[in-house]
Structure 1
């Protein structure tokens, strides 16, 4: 009786027409181009297994902790954009994948941040990578893989140099007026949603026409899942009147009446902004997200308290509202405040 060779981890496929048997490495899907059971077959199989083993994180290392974290409910419960951001941090931390968790102590993390991450990746990513690393170490500590989390005590972030331009700075009233006056309809409407309702890009590109009811716009924010409802400001009402013809359910559409993609919107806004900068009618640094800061600033200047600003911007805490306004269903009084808020400078026609 002829013996049958059994090789684990191999998938065999017999072509129904030719009768030729093809072998594939089950884990990688890579075809083994050699006769099954031959010395050449086992040699190529060994090469594949060697590569696979080298790519697998070692026990007790940061790489394994990250891998296990990404297979846990903690990871699957994160919002999509949060997972993408974490993956960026994991890519930055990749050189440490084989480092034993037990050797990661607090002094090491500070040295890593200040001497490696900050010079190569800048302030934001250096701080963010440490924050994400702390989350993974907490995950490892909860499972008994390390005795303690060296980042359990909050790490003081690297401060941005004072002479650097603030990201997402508030727009001036004049800049708001110029942009609203000069923007084509397909850009004016999404920018008005950001300017008048404080929506993030992820929200103003997706919000639908059904959100407009009884003179208000009602949205559940994608970042924190917070419901907000604010009156439609006259600037937004005017932008809605010039919306490009479209059958799309999204409020913001491009010149062809199709829903904006984030890439398409970014490219169009960048071209439009650059032209205004070259004319000298706006200063460098305008961003759509800066309009959230603009709204917070204008509300503060109009006398709104932190709680009102937090409600308008969809923040869960008033401390976040202070961040958005430090440069300077809502109650009925707050609704009136939003509806009559001065967002643009009145053009002098004299």
Structure 2
């Protein structure tokens, strides 16, 4: 039986795209309401009250990047041979988040706008593909609601937008034929939005604050170009707090482990039955073998915002072809 192994590296990066002195500030000079999610100062006993602050009408702009480098090895057990091909795909986003309704004690509404979305892809065949569906998000907006702890609880507009854009990933087929989906990076877009504030919202008891060395966990989707992407357990650790006369920044480290646990509700760009276009359309019996790597988030404790978040990891996956391919 032929199998393939993906031994690629995946990178996610998020950073403030404009001057953080004016973006994401918690200032209240004009007495507009401010949403404080979690905390943002020392609470005694060496604990940090991690915070997100949103001021009504104030925009927060981020540049987001997701890049995947894939080594695909097709092995023949019969001849004890293997061949490796490479592909890569990179998504660059600029997102703007604007609080439109702030309630420090209840649900607050955030408007998100995708200013730009660009994908660069090098396929196994070296042929240029069609426009990635995620690029159709450029110029589109949606709103969602946050709890006082930073958890997204109402996201119907995001779901509706993803369903609409997700349809553009499919090739038009004759009636009665199975749908065929082109490669897209919509799962990457979802992960970059859905887990942006997970390091804060998954703290079990945020009011008590977090001590240096404390750990907490989150269950997250691993974006891949397959129908049902795998999940990982992310472990966050407050590694250190760096303090100068002008700045106080928390360094939050993250590590990952493959998980068999199913995700709860999350916004999905595709539904129903369809076939993937290209080599991924002929693979079955996925087995997610391992994940190695980690990440570092820089959290600004004075401005109460995520300044930068970089994750880099390598995942090994195996699968089988639908049909025997001889000595391929």
Is the radius of gyration larger for structure 1 or structure 2?
1
Per the shorter chain, which TM-score range? under 0.3
Q: TM-score when scaled to structure 2?
A: 0.22
Q: Which has the higher contact order (CA 8 A, sep 6+)?
A: 2
Q: TM-score when scaled to structure 1?
A: 0.21
- Whichever structure has more helix as a proportion of its residues is 1
